[in-house]
Structure 1
Amino acid sequence: MLVTDTQALRPTGVPEALVAPLPGRGDQIEMRAHLLGTRIDMRSLAGFGDPETVELQGAGAFVFRYGAVVLVGATPAEEARILAHVAPHAVDPPASPEIETARIELRDDGEETVSADGRIRLREATPERLLLAATVLARSVVLARDEMRIEDAFDRIEPLLTEMREHGRAHLPIRQIMRQIGSVLSAQHRVVGRARIGEKPDLLWEHPELDRLYGRLEAEYELGDRTRTIERKLEMLGDSAEWLLDLVQDKRSLRLELSVIGLIAFEVAIGLYEIASRWPH
C-alpha cells in the first residue's frame, strides 16, 4: 500500500529514488522495472518516501527520478495501481513500453551474488539491498531505451552519409539535422547527468559492505560496458551530425554568396545598360 503520511516521509531534496512499502511475500521475489519516461517529477508525487526512513517488509515500489519504476514483490493488481499512480508524473513517455524483470532469491547461506540463471541471491531483503538491486535494474532499463534510440539515430543518419559517399552530395534538411543533434545531447544528459549510470549509487557511501554485491550486479547487467558503448556511439553521432550541419551551413553560405554576386552582376548590368543608352549612336 502507498504511504499515507507523505509529509513525514517526504525528503527535503530530490533524491535518486523514493519508495512505498509493499507486503513481503516469501523467499522468491519478482522484480520488474518499467520505464515511464525520461524523468519523473517526484516533488509532486504523493505516497512515496525516502528509502532511508520508510520501513520495508521485504517488498516495495521504487520510483527513480530518471523515469523508471521498479516493483519488488508486487502483485499484478498492486503493480497496475502503482504504475497508474506514477504515470501522470512522468515526462516524455516512450512510444512502446520498456520492461526488464529479475528474480531475487533469499538465502541466509553463501555469498550474495548472481546465479548462473540470473537470480539475484541475497542473504536478507533489507531496504538497502532491495534499493541496490532496484537501482541496477532501473539503470539497465534506462540504458535499454537509449540503446534503442541510438540505433534509430544511426538508421536515420546513415542514408545521408551513404548518399554523400556515393554521389558526393545529399539532401540535408536543417530541421532533421538539428533534431539529430538534440537527440544526441538529450541522451548524453540522461546517461551522464540525470541517471549517473557511470557512477556508483550514493547508497554505497552509507553501506560500503554492499560494494561487492553492487560490483557483481553491475557486471551481470553490463552497466559499465553498455555505458561506454553508448558514449562512443553518442560521440560518433555527434561528430556526424555536426559535420552534416557544417555542410548545410556551407551550402547556405554558398547560396548567399551566389545571391550577392548575382545582385552585384545585376546592378552592373543595369549600370552598363544606362551608360549604353546615353551613348550617342
Structure 2
Amino acid sequence: MAELARAAGVGVREVLGLALPGRSDRGNVRALLLGARIDTRNLEGFAETESLVLAGVGAAFVFRYGVLVLFGASAESERELIARLASHIVDPLAQPEVETASIEIRAEGEETVSADGHIRLREATRERLLLTATVLARSVVLGRDEGRIAEAFDRVEPLINDLRENGRAGMPIRRVMKNIGDVLSAQHRVVGRAQISEKPDLLWEHPALDRLYGRLEAEFELGDRARAMERKLEVIGDAAEWLLDLVQDKRSLRLELAVIVLIAFEVVLNLYQFWRL
C-alpha cells in the first residue's frame, strides 16, 4: 500500500486522505461508518487532502465524524485500514454501517450519477474524489441516524397510546431522559459534525464542481433526507419533553402529597399531646 508521510502538526482536521496503489479508471466506492468519531490527530500514513497525489481511482478519506471512504480498495486493504484506525475510533460500532457505489473515469461526456449509484467523472482529481467521498460519508451517517430515529419513534409510540387509552403514561424518568439524549445526539451529528445541510467548503475554492455536487446530493437525496429527519427529530423532541414534563408533574404531585401527609401527621401528634395534658 502506497503511503504518504504523516501530516505536519498534531492539529485536528475534519478530513485526511491517503493515496492507494493502482491506476485503474474504475472501481468500487465504500463508505463505512466506524464509530461516533475518529480522532484524526497523528494518523499514520494519512495526510492533508491538499497534498494528495493520485494515480487513477485509488484513495482513502477519513472523516472526523466517524467515516472511512475507500475508492478502489481491495478487501485486504480495507481490513488493514480499519485495523490502523481502530485505536483512533471513539465509541466504535459493533458492525459498521456501509454505503456503496461504483465509479468510472471517462474524459468525454457529462459527469453523471445514475439511480443505481454509478458515478461517472471526467477526471480522478483529488477534488472530485473528495467531493464524492463527502457525499457518501454524509449519506451513511444519515442512514445510521434514520434507523435510530425510527427506533426512537417505536419507543415513544406505546407511551402515547398508553396515555390515550388509560389516561396515564407509566415511564421511568431515566428512560425519558434517554429518549431526549438520543434526539440531541442525532441532531448534533446531522447539524454539527457532518453538516449535512451545508455545502462542502471545497466548493468555495472550486466552484466549477458545484454542478457535480448538485447531482451527487440529489441522487443520494441528502437534502430531502436531512429535512425529513429534522421534522422527525422535532416531533420526537416535543414528545420527549412533554413526557418529561408529565413525569416531573407526577413527581411534584407525589412530593406535595408527602408534605400534606407530614403536616397532617404533625397536627394529629400535636392534638394527641394536647389531649394527654
Give the whole-Å Cα distance in 2 for the aligned partners of 1:224 and 1:10. 35
Of 27, 35, 46, which aligns to 1:29?
A: 27
Offset at 1:162?
A: 1.2
- Confirm or deny: 8 A CA contact 2:37 2:90 kept in the other structure: yes
Give the whole-Å Cα distance in 2 for the aligned partners of 1:239 and 1:81. 44
Residue correspondence of structure 1 range 203-242 to structure 2 within 5 A: 203-242=202-241
Give the whole-Å Cα distance in 2 for the aligned partners of 1:71 and 1:199. 23
Q: Normalising by the residue count of structure 1, what TM-score does the alignment of the two structures yield?
A: 0.94
Render the CA deviation track for 1:198-240: whole Å, top value 9, x for unaligned.
1011111111100000000000000000001111111111111
Give the whole-Å Cα distance in 2 for the aligned partners of 1:41 and 1:14. 8
- Structure 2 residue aligned with 1:16: 14
Give the whole-Å Cα distance in 2 for the aligned partners of 1:112 and 1:196. 24
Give the whole-Å Cα distance in 2 for the aligned partners of 1:44 and 1:166. 56
- Structure 2 residue aligned with 1:156: 155
Render the CA deviation track for 1:44-88: whole Å, top value 9, x for unaligned.
322101111121222111100110000101111111101111122
Render the CA deviation track for 1:21-62: whole Å, top value 9, x for unaligned.
101342221100111011100013221011111212221111
Give the whole-Å Cα distance in 2 for the aligned partners of 1:26 and 1:3. 18
SS in 1 for 2:17: strand
Q: Normalising by the residue count of structure 2, what TM-score does the alignment of the two structures yield?
A: 0.96
- Structure 2 residue aligned with 1:5: 5
- Confirm or deny: 8 A CA contact 1:181 1:238 kept in the other structure: yes
SS in 2 for 1:120: strand
What residue identity is the alignment partner of 1:240? A
Please give the root-mean-square deviation of Cα atoms over the aligned residues, in Å.
1.4
- Confirm or deny: 8 A CA contact 1:104 1:119 kept in the other structure: yes
- Structure 2 residue aligned with 1:256: 255
Residue correspondence of structure 1 range 1-281 to structure 2 within 5 A: 1=1, 3-6=3-6, 9-10=7-8, 13-58=11-56, 59-278=58-277
SS in 2 for 1:43: coil
Q: 1:64 to 1:11 in 2, by over 3 A?
A: farther
Q: Which runs of 4+ in 1 moved over 3 A?
A: 10-13
Give the whole-Å Cα distance in 2 for the aligned partners of 1:103 and 1:229. 27
- Confirm or deny: 8 A CA contact 2:16 2:61 kept in the other structure: yes
- Confirm or deny: 8 A CA contact 2:2 2:21 kept in the other structure: no
What residue identity is the alignment partner of 1:5? A
Give me the identity figure in percent.
66
What residue identity is the alignment partner of 1:68? V
Unaligned runs of 5+ in 1: none
SS in 1 for 2:35: coil
- Confirm or deny: 8 A CA contact 1:11 1:50 kept in the other structure: no
Q: 1:98 to 1:134 in 2, by over 3 A?
A: same
Give the whole-Å Cα distance in 1 for the aligned partners of 2:109 and 2:156. 50
Aligned residue pairs total: 276
Give the whole-Å Cα distance in 2 for the aligned partners of 1:116 and 1:184. 31
SS in 2 for 1:31: strand
Offset at 1:12?
A: 6.4
SS in 1 for 2:65: coil
Give the whole-Å Cα distance in 1 for the aligned partners of 2:255 and 2:117. 61
Give the whole-Å Cα distance in 2 for the aligned partners of 1:95 and 1:161. 31
Render the CA deviation track for 1:83-108: whole Å, top value 9, x for unaligned.
11112211112243211110011111
Q: 1:149 to 1:274 in 2, by over 3 A?
A: same
Unaligned runs of 5+ in 2: none
SS in 1 for 2:117: coil
SS in 2 for 1:98: strand
What residue identity is the alignment partner of 1:54? L
